[in-house]
Amino acid sequence: MERDTHFILGVYDDEDVLLHAVEKVRGSGVKIHEVYSPYPVHGLEHVLGYKRSKLPIAAFLFGMLGTSLALTMQFYMMKFDWPMIIGGKDYAAFPDFVPVSFEMTVLLAAFGMVGVFLITSNLKPWAQPRIFDLRSTDDKHIMAIDIASNSSLEQEKIKEILSASGATEVNNKSFE
Amino acid sequence: MAHHGEHHYNLDQRFDFTASIKKSILTVLVIGAVLLGIGIVMAMTGGHHEEGAAAGGHAFHWYERLYASLWVNNVFFTGISIIGVFFFAIQFAAQAGWSAPILRVMLSLGNWLPIAGVLMLATFFVANHDLFHWTHSYLFDKNDPQYDKIIDGKGAFFYWPMEKGTFPVFYIARMVIFFSFWVFFFTKFKQISAQEDQLGGSSHWYKMRSWSAFFLVFFAVSSSMSAWDWVMSIDTHWFSTLFGWYMFASWFVSGLSTITLIVLFLKGKGYLEMVNENHVHDLGKFVFGFSIFWTYLWFSQFLLIYYANIPEETVYFVERLESDIYGPFVFVNLGLNFFLPFLVLMTRDAKRHGVFLKLVCTILIVGHWIDFTLMVQPGTLGHNGGIGLLEVGMFLVYGSAATFVVLNALAKRNLIAKNHPMLQESYNHHI
């Protein structure tokens, strides 16, 4: 069977039940594809066993890029391109450059971080989102299990595990 | 963990101020005293008497260095002490729950306040002419050749309602009022805490919140004015409108570092087992964030003065940056108080693990002490200043004495606010 097309969905009403359910389901050897919820559930990524996001590293690198660009720009303009004496200081008066460098650092760190986040989370404008269950935007938490990546388990067995963990409904969902 | 389970912590724990801890603190005190003694002897025998006299100013006496050192430590440790009370009050005003188990650590810092107040007053009366230029009466006498129009204009701020150049009533009154109110609020907080331990219920929390709000309003004004009085008035001609905030930021970082160090120390001894890496992380974020805040104020003060280039303002930085003694320390100051905490505490892991925090907090306390030395010394000692055995010794003596007083008071009472209504929230704190 092809990966990423056929899913079993567990529908949960309550976030506490969901958190325990994730632990139970993973404990019985089922791999969870993803959990969709209408709002951030505290501790969910922890029980899902997600590794920490690498986004801060991207932010740091973009920040450094901002600092370097700002300093290069100012030194080039003030020292080489169009030297000007301001307030009796040197052409390249470093303290004057600090506010601009700071702002550029913040700007590029923020833009870079948002950009990287959008791309890695598949939120590109041209991306086609897959809706597993519309109610995950309202009042239900949806746990999606990829059937292909759990081929060692019977589908009925997976459904039993989901119901036993507190799912109010267990459905099938397929994408083209 | 996110799961809200039952917790069984020992809420009646008390810090045991054992003989071995006392012994190590006293050892530091003795080392400090010995260094101080050697430093004083060196200052008495060495010194640069002739230079001062030759320049036409007053001759330099060795004890001025002692007074300046006393003053630096008075102001610095008063700051750490009042920041403990301030941060405690902030927790109630902000209705914070995460900090419930470490509230008593914050409050215990206030125990140094009464002693600090007495020391401050005493030092002022002993050292006034040697520390504060504005205490000379000839500055206000129009017939005197040394009459100073600028200081005369500012005189009322020190001497009102008396005649300028006599007895600084207004100045002394402010010092006494600030310390008495701070001690009053501190005592009030202690009282309400003690009642809460005995009676429980949420009414004490509400009471504490009201008192905290009053204290914060008072502190907002008094912290700023004490900065003008105790530090800025040393450079009497010069002024900076954000000096109050700048000094408060320096105090706040030192105070937060002290609170973090005591919490980590207590955890290391097996107390406060409900305080986990999440709480430590929050303390780390405060230390990290306010180090940057301090830098922001330091730089804002510097940049505007540097850019505007008005001689009466730039003199403050010329005195420091162009001096062989203080010049290097300006950069040491920025390195220790900004670059180091900024780079070390930037990652999440560094803020959650005690090793990094212990290192950074210790360095920050030293760094901000250097900052205060840089604020006080150029205006009082001129080119006779510096950080030598005398200064280090005095720092160790003050530091160990204050630590002793604080830990001693901490051991006398419950270590945890056991009836605080937000303890449960704090156990489940997860970031």
- What is the structure's pLDDT at A30? 93
Q: Bridge-partner residues for A6, per DSSP?
A: A174
Tokens standing for B11?
A: 């809420």
End-to-end CA distance of chain B: 10
Q: Which residues of chain B have pLDDT under 70?
A: 1-6, 47-58
Confidence band of A126 (pLDDT split at 50, 70, 90):
confident
Tokens standing for A113?
A: 């971080």
Buried-state track A86-99, b at ≥16 Cβ within 10 A, e below 16: eeebeebbeebbee
Q: How far apart are CA B206 and CA B203, in angstroms?
A: 5
Question: Average pLDDT for residues A69-86, to the nearest whole number?
Answer: 94
Q: Do B89 and B263 contact (CB within 8 A), yes or no? A: no
Same domain, A159 and A170: yes
Measured in whole angstroms, how far is the alpha carbon of residue A21 from the centre of its chain? 22
Residue A33: CATH number of its domain? 3.30.70
For A112, other C-beta atoms within 10 Å of its C-beta total 19
Q: How far apart are CA B236 and CA A60, in angstroms?
A: 43
Torsion angle of the four alpha carbons A126, A127, A132, A133, in this order, in degrees rounded to the nearest 10: -30
Least CB–CB distance from A96: residue in B2, B307, B347: B307
Domain count, chain A: 2
For chain B, give percent helix, strand, coil, nearest 5: 75, 0, 25
> Chain A: nearest CA to B2, how far in angstroms?
5
- Report if residue A144 sits inside a domain: yes
Does an H or E element contain A54, and which?
Answer: none
Tell me the residues of chain A between 78 and 117 that have a Cβ less than 8 Å away from chain B.
Answer: 87-89, 95-96, 98-99
Least CB–CB distance from A43: residue in B2, B302, B346: B2
Same domain, A73 and A112: yes
Q: How far apart are CA B267 and CA B262, in angstroms?
A: 8
Same domain, A60 and A47: no
Q: Bridge-partner residues for A171, per DSSP?
A: A9
Cβ of B310 under 8 Å from any chain A Cβ?
A: no
Same domain, A19 and A46: yes
Measured in whole angstroms, how far is the alpha carbon of residue B122 from the centre of its chain? 18
Tell me the residues of chain B between 268 and 307 that have a Cβ less than 8 Å away from chain A.
Answer: 299, 302-303, 306-307
pLDDT digits over B330-360, tens only?
999 999 999 999 999 999 999 999 999 999 9
For residue A146, what are the CA distances in angstroms to A31, A141, A160, B13? Answer: 8, 16, 15, 51
- What is the structure's pLDDT at B5? 57
- What is the structure's pLDDT at B357? 96
B contacts of A19 (beta carbons < 8 Å): 2-3
- What is the structure's pLDDT at B61? 87
> Chain B: nearest CA to A6, how far in angstroms?
31
Inspect the interface and report whether the beta carbons of A19 and B1 lie closer than 8 Å. Answer: no
Torsion angle of the four alpha carbons B29, B31, B33, B38, in this order, in degrees rounded to the nearest 10: -170
Same domain, A9 and A42: yes
Burial of B198 (0-12, 13-18, 19+ CB in 10 A): exposed
Same domain, A64 and A94: yes
pLDDT digits over B182-198, tens only?
999 999 999 999 999 99
For B334, other C-beta atoms within 10 Å of its C-beta total 17
- Report if residue A68 sits inside a domain: yes
Q: How far apart are CA B361 and CA B257, in angstroms?
A: 5
For B40, other C-beta atoms within 10 Å of its C-beta total 19
Q: Do B196 and B419 contact (CB within 8 A), yes or no? A: yes
Same domain, A40 and A74: no
What is the 8-class DSSP label of residue B13? -
Inspect the interface and report whether the beta carbons of A95 and B306 lie closer than 8 Å. Answer: yes
A contacts of B347 (beta carbons < 8 Å): 56
Inspect the interface and report whether the beta carbons of A95 and B346 lie closer than 8 Å. Answer: no
Q: Give B18-33 as a DSSP string.
A: -HHHHHHHHHHHHHHH
Q: Is B71 helix (H, G, I), strand (E, B) or coil?
A: helix
For B123, other C-beta atoms within 10 Å of its C-beta total 19
Tokens standing for B329?
A: 């320390």
> Chain A: nearest CA to B431, how far in angstroms?
9
- What is the structure's pLDDT at B8? 82
User: Average model confidence (pLDDT) for chain B?
Assistant: 93
For B349, other C-beta atoms within 10 Å of its C-beta total 10
Confidence band of A129 (pLDDT split at 50, 70, 90):
confident
Q: Does the N-terminal peptide bond of residue B161 adopt cis geometry, omega within 30 degrees of 0?
A: yes
> Chain B: nearest CA to A19, how far in angstroms?
8
Same domain, A100 and A66: yes
Q: How far apart are CA A10 and CA A21, in angstroms?
A: 10
- What is the structure's pLDDT at B54? 47
B contacts of A60 (beta carbons < 8 Å): 346
Inspect the interface and report whether the beta carbons of A95 and B302 lie closer than 8 Å. Answer: yes
Q: Among positive and negative, which fits the CA dihedral A97, A98, A102, A105? A: positive
- What is the structure's pLDDT at B1? 42
Same domain, A66 and A109: yes
> Chain A: nearest CA to B430, how far in angstroms?
8
Same domain, A76 and A20: no
Question: Average pLDDT for residues A47-53, to the nearest whole number?
Answer: 91
- Report if residue A16 sits inside a domain: yes
Range of the domain at A64: 55-120
Q: How far apart are CA B313 and CA B300, in angstroms?
A: 14
Same domain, A62 and A116: yes
Least CB–CB distance from B303: residue in A52, A88, A95: A95
Same domain, A145 and A113: no
Inspect the interface and report whether the beta carbons of B1 and A95 lie closer than 8 Å. Answer: no
Q: Give A103-147 as a DSSP string.
A: HHHHHHHHHHHHHHHHHHTT--TT-----S-GGGGTT-EEEEEES
Cβ of A43 under 8 Å from any chain B Cβ?
A: yes
Angle at A130 between CA A124 and CA A131, to 5 degrees: 125
Q: How far apart are CA B264 and CA B258, in angstroms?
A: 10
Q: Do B284 and B341 contact (CB within 8 A), yes or no? A: no
Least CB–CB distance from A98: residue in B1, B3, B299: B299
Residue at A42: amino acid letter: H
- Report if residue A113 sits inside a domain: yes
Tell which residue, B260, B264, B265, B229, has the closest CA to residue B244.
B229
Inspect the interface and report whether the beta carbons of A95 and B309 lie closer than 8 Å. Answer: no
Long-range own/partner contacts, residues B298-305 (CB < 8 A, 24 or more apart): B298/B246, B298/B334, B298/B337, B298/B338, B299/A98, B300/B242, B301/B240, B301/B242, B301/B243, B301/B246, B302/A95, B303/A95, B303/A96, B303/A98, B303/A99, B305/B240
